[in-house]
Amino acid sequence: MQSEALRLQGVSKTYTGARGSRIAALLPTDLAVREGEFVSLIGPSGCGKSTLLKVVAGLTPPTQGTITYGWDRASRPGQDIGFVFQDPVLLPWKNVLENARFPLEVFGVGREQADRTVLELLDAVGLGGFERALPRELSGGMRQRVSIVRALAYDPKLLLMDEPFGALDLLTRDLMSDILLGLWSRSPKTVVFVTHSVEEAVYLSDRLVVMSPRPGQVKEIMEVDLPRPRDPAVKDTDGFVHWMRRVKAALDAQPVAS
Amino acid sequence: MKRWGLVVHYVATLVVLTAVWQLYVSVGHVSSFLLPAPLPVLTALLASLRSGQLVSATAQTCLEILVGFGVGSVLGVALGALLSRSELLRTATGSLLLFFQTAPKIALAPLFILWFGLGLLSKLVLVVSLVFFPAMVATTVGISSVPGPFVDLANLLGLRPAQRFFRIQLPLALPDIFAGLKVGLVQAVIGAIVAEWMAGNAGLGYLMVYGDTTFDTPLLIAAILMTVLVSVVFTGLLVRVETRLLSWHAAYAGEGGSS
Ligand SMILES: Nc1ncnc2c1ncn2[C@@H]1O[C@H](COP(=O)(O)OP(=O)(O)OP(=O)(O)O)[C@@H](O)[C@H]1O
Ligand SMILES: [Mg+2]
């Protein structure tokens, strides 16, 4: 049995709106993630997926509940969680290399070692030779790859990804999925991945968490037993089609009365 | 090539303006006391340059603008950064700052002269007070408009306050800050000239008063022309610094990037 990387117990989030109104974004949620596991969250817009990731990353406190991490969070503050946002959030005055090594610089890692780590990762995502380019000189997919490298550069215990490919066209999305799978098989990491795309979720995940419309709640959790390593050919198999159908059915089903 | 085109353009404008000026004076029989012809003004300009009078007055005014603008903008940006860090500080100082911000600083000039004397200090205080507020307001606006995801990134990586300011907030706020600094610079020139008008015996403002009271209209106009030149040069320098620092910014792309 693998050890646990993350456990949410009764975690909920209620935002206080502009005029003191209260917005329930996430109802009490239980979720456990195993170490090295790739978990996807899928659900309609506004169901609290981003909120869940932000709470896990400590960017906003939960209203209720507790989050337990599989490691001592205090030992490396800021360095234990990688976050890939929906937009790349690159610093526009820094080039690709400087952006990707920004966290390492902040954490005081030596320049030489930082460059070695980052250049290797940039190579792995097909950005070798673009080290000196500014973000505005890159395509959307390339920018998002820089952002993934930046999140992986400090070797976090947990990688959170919030619709990282949401703004990209379909062909680029597929390419990015394969790049991500490649990175993941190089060094299996615990990943929590938010997406709107059923295909992407089935293709990438070990486990798939389907959420109900707002206020968000976990509706169903599925263990995707497709064999690994996966490559695009798996998308034509009956198993894959079966999972696609199951996830779509779960998404369409009426929310459980509570 | 583009640069030479610009120079030709400027020179042509100058020539046309001077011609119109000469024409107006000679055709309209304007008294040389009210508006001297271009030539006497040029002679006065050259004479006061040679005597060192204009040079030292210009140096004095430039010093006031440079130091006052520098101190004012650094203080303004620093306080703006502090204010955007602390809600408590904002509410504590809010009404006081609003009072000083809305008070017309020029009206305070006599008070500054009373407090800080007839010399350089009172002029610097006026210029600093004029530059400070636009710089401060622009900085708070710039920092508060840093997009949420950048704030998340800073929080995620646990940046310390100084890292957060210098590595994320300040660069992202620079376009706003420069907008404030440009307003501040115009104010700085006005402040320096007005302060010299009111008191003291140095600077271009003083030279204007001197030319006026001694009925030396060519000298007065020479001093005015010099003030315009100073203002244009400082603004040009500020814009150069801006394009250099913001070459990464989409709105400035193409300029300064290749230099
Ligand atoms: N900072 C905030 N203040 C107030 N309400 C918020 C805030 N952030 C999110 N919400 C609300 O919480 C709910 C869940 O938002 P969240 O961003 O987590 O949804 P999501 O599942 O990520 O949606 P999407 O798929 O569109 O990204 C929404 O109704 C949203 O309006
Ligand atoms: Mg979201």
B23 occurs within a structural domain: no
Chain segment B219-255, per-residue pLDDT in tens: 888 899 999 999 999 999 999 999 999 988 877 665 4
Closest residue by CA, ligand 1 atom 12: A25
Is 60 exceeded by the pLDDT of residue B259? no
Whether A15 lines ligand 1, by a CB cut-off of 6 Å, is yes
From the alpha carbon of A26, which atom of ligand 1 is closest? 14
CATH number reported for the structural domain that contains residue B69 in this entry: 1.10.3720.10
Q: Given this model, what pLDDT does residue A258 score?
A: 45
The answer to whether residue B194 is domain-embedded is: yes
Chain A and chain B share a number of CB contacts under 8 A equal to: 45
C-beta separation of A172 from A140 below 8 A: yes
Confirm whether pTM is higher than 0.90.
Answer: no
Quote the domain boundaries for residue B157. 60-258
Percent of chain B scored above 70 by pLDDT? 96
Look at residue B254 in the predicted model and tell me its pLDDT.
53
Number of domains in chain B: 1
B53 half-sphere exposure, CB direction, 13 A CA radius: 17
pLDDT truncated to tens, each residue of chain A (258 aa)?
568 999 999 999 999 988 888 989 999 999 999 999 999 999 999 999 999 999 999 999 999 999 999 988 876 667 899 999 999 999 999 999 999 999 999 999 999 999 999 999 999 899 999 999 999 999 999 999 999 999 999 999 999 999 999 988 888 899 999 999 998 988 889 999 999 999 999 999 999 999 998 788 899 999 999 998 899 999 999 999 999 999 999 998 765 544
Q: Is the CB of A47 under 6 A from ligand 1?
A: yes
In a domain, B243, yes or no: yes
**Structure confidence by residue, pLDDT tens digits, B216-225:** 888 888 899 9
Which atom of ligand 1 approaches the CA of A48 most closely? Answer: 18
Residue B130 forms part of a structural domain: yes
Residue B252 lies in a domain: yes
| Three-state helix/strand/coil letters over chain A | CCCEEEEEEEEEEEEECCCCCEEEEEEEEEEEEECCCEEEEECCCCCCHHHHHHHHHCCCCCCEEEEEECCCHHHCCCCCEEEECCCCCCCCCCCHHHHHCHHHHHCCCCHHHHHHHHHHHHHHCCCCCCCCCCHHHCCHHHHHHHHHHHHHHCCCCEEEEECCCCCCCHHHHHHHHHHHHHHHHHCCCEEEEEECCHHHHHHHCCEEEEEECCCEEEEEEEECCCCCCCCHHHHHCHHHHHHHHHHHHHHHCCCCCC
Residue B91 lies in a domain: yes
In a domain, B176, yes or no: yes
* Closest CB from A57, A59, A136 relative to B250: A136
Q: ipTM > 0.95?
A: no
Which pLDDT belongs to residue B87?
Answer: 78
In a domain, B39, yes or no: no
Closest-CA residue of chain A to B168: A91
